Each structure stands twice: as structure tokens, then as C-alpha cells.
Amino acid sequence: MIYETFLFTRNQKRDFTAFVRPRELTNKEVSLLASALGNINDVANLTRDWPAFYSLPVGQYNMLLRHYDSGRKHAGRPISVVEGIAVRRTLQRHYTLAVPHFLAHHDDVLHISRQIADIEAANIEESAEHDWPDVQAEDVQSAADDDLINAFLSRLDEDRLFVPFTQDGRALLISALTDPRLRKAHFAFGTNADVLARLHQADIQVDIVSYFNTTVPSLRNRQTNEITSELTDFIGKLPARPEGRVAIETDPDYPTEVLPTPRQVRAAWQRIQTDDDPLAEFDAGDEAMLTMREMRRGERQQQAEQTADDEPEETRGWLLRLIARLLGKS
């Protein structure tokens, strides 16, 4: 299989640029990738060992990319890297078979920036063509949830598969990609709705998605994004991600935290030890809630008490000033 390489980043002198690009990739297509991935607001938490992954049909190529923080900064802001490989779409079958292998060995295959010794002195260049031996799906073994993947493949035209942005989610992604029934390997692993919306504007569709805080594998309708099926009993077997990882964005359609009810909040409050509660001396009643009128009434009462406390001191001060003036005149 013949592939070309892609490296998009910036240095201190040159703004974001495709320093290495496939021969047939146009400036318009580079700008599309830049504008889509520019919707990731906080790239600082994406690292080389835990990047976001995209497999997208762009122009004449299928592109497998990873997106992460380079560790460099410009004007105090992290500089991101988008790098990977591009395979002509005429080699679709070979590409689909190879993607699971490339994901499992991404730091060997997709690490294009290591080819540049000094990014500050880098020049723009056209990618050479590289030969990669044919890869069989059996070369990558990953545990799968057969029921979910079967349901996904049977509803591929109507639904997309959502997986968690975790190591278990990546294993599930690879498992789905190794299934020979999957005709195309197009996905966005570690993304948000704005990125997908920009890709959709360019008529680039993906079949498998992972938002940054998706926690449960599910199927969602392509048109409405409504959940049509999910694994409510899903329990991950691997650590969520390499040590030190934190969630960086929210999935607006799938919050990770279930908020407590008012009754639960009150019960938790009542369990607090009064010795540790700096507000224990104040009693707001059984409802533990004050209306705006009650709050204003309390403020007026405090102001009146403060005024009463200050009056004797002000009176003494006035008498002392009067006596001083009289003595001065005499």
C-alpha cells in the first residue's frame, strides 16, 4: 500500500502551515482541516501518548490523523500538531484493513514530526510516497462487544456508533474497524460537536464518534443525534487513559455527571457535622431557603442595629469637638 504523509503545525516565525503535505492535497482542503480542528479550544490536554484520532475522506485521499499539543508555545498559547498519513481513495480496501494496525501502533506510523530535526528551521515540502506492506485485520486483536457491533453494522445507514474517549473506547473502536463488514473506516475519536458540524458542511461524514466525555457506548441517530441503543451496564476494564489525563471538553448531549435532586442535596446538608459548619449558628428554618423579601428584611435589620451601635460614639465625638471650640475661644 502506497501512502503519503501530512504535518500541520506552526513555529515562532510562520503561522500554522502544512510543512509536509501529500502531492494532490489542495490549499482549500488544508484550510478545511485547520478550520474544523480549530474548534478544539483546549488542546493542552491532548498529548502524543493520548491524542485525538481522525480518519476522514478529504479530496483524493483517506487521511488518518492524530491531533495533540506539541509542548511548544507561541504568545503563551499551546501549539498543536496535526500529523498522519494519506492514502489515495482508490486504495480504500487496503486502507480500511490497515487502519486498526496503524491505530494500535500510532506512535510508529503517524509520528511525522520526528522526521524534522528543527521545526523552527523547517521548510514546506511535498511528501514522498512510502510503501507499507499489506496488513490483515487479524494482525490486530481487540476484545469486542459483539452485540453492539452487530447492531451498529445492521443500522449503519441510520445510526453512528459512539464510544468513550478512554482506552476501552479506543479498543472498542479498533474492534469495530477490524470487522470485515465495515466498508469504510471513517471516525473521529476525541472531538466535539463543532468539529463534526464543520466536517458535515464539507460533506465529510464519519461512522464512529467519541466526544471527549462520552462515557457509555451507544448508537445515535445520524439526523437527530438521539440515542437509539446504549450499553447501560458498560464497565471499562482498562484505566480510562494514561496517567495524568483529564477530560477537556463536554459532550452537550451526554453529561457525565448526574445531578442530585433537591431532596438529596438537603439530606446531604443535614448530615454535615455542625462543628465543621461555619454557618451552623444561623438557622434558616426547615426549608433552608430565604425569599428575596426575607433577605432584604434581614439586611435592613442589620443596618439598623449597626446604626444604633454607632450613635453613642458619634454623640461623644460631637460633644468633645464643641468643648474644644469653647475652650479655644476663651
In terms of average pLDDT, the best of 78-87, 114-123, 231-240, 315-324 is 78-87
pLDDT tens for 138-179 read: 455 555 567 888 889 999 999 999 999 999 999 999 999 999
**Which pairs from 227-236 meet CB under 8 Å and 24+ separation?**
227/254, 228/155, 228/158, 228/159, 229/148, 229/151, 229/159, 231/145, 231/148, 234/164, 236/164, 236/166, 236/167, 236/168
- The rounded mean pLDDT for the chain is 81
Q: Is the pLDDT of residue 255 over 90?
A: no
pLDDT at 280: 45
What letter represents residue 182's amino acid? L
Give the model's pLDDT for residue 323: 76
Could you read off the pLDDT of 101-144 as tens digits, one per residue? 999 899 989 999 998 889 988 999 999 999 986 655 445 555 55
- Residue 130 pLDDT: 93
Judged by average pLDDT, the poorest of 76-90, 132-146, 278-292 is 278-292
pLDDT tens for 3-59 read: 999 999 999 888 999 999 999 999 999 999 999 999 998 898 899 999 999 999 999
Distances (CA, A) of 272 to 168, 268, 277, 287: 37, 7, 7, 16
Long-range contacts of 26-35 (CB under 8 A, 24+ apart): 26/59, 29/58, 29/59, 32/58, 32/198, 32/202, 33/8, 33/58, 33/63, 33/65, 33/82, 34/8, 34/82, 35/198
The alpha carbon torsion through 86, 93, 99, 174 (nearest 10 deg) reads 150
What pLDDT, on a 0 to 100 scale, did the predictor assign at position 134?
Answer: 61
Q: Where are the domains of the chain?
A: 2-230
Confidence grade of residue 100 (pLDDT, cut at 50, 70, 90): very high
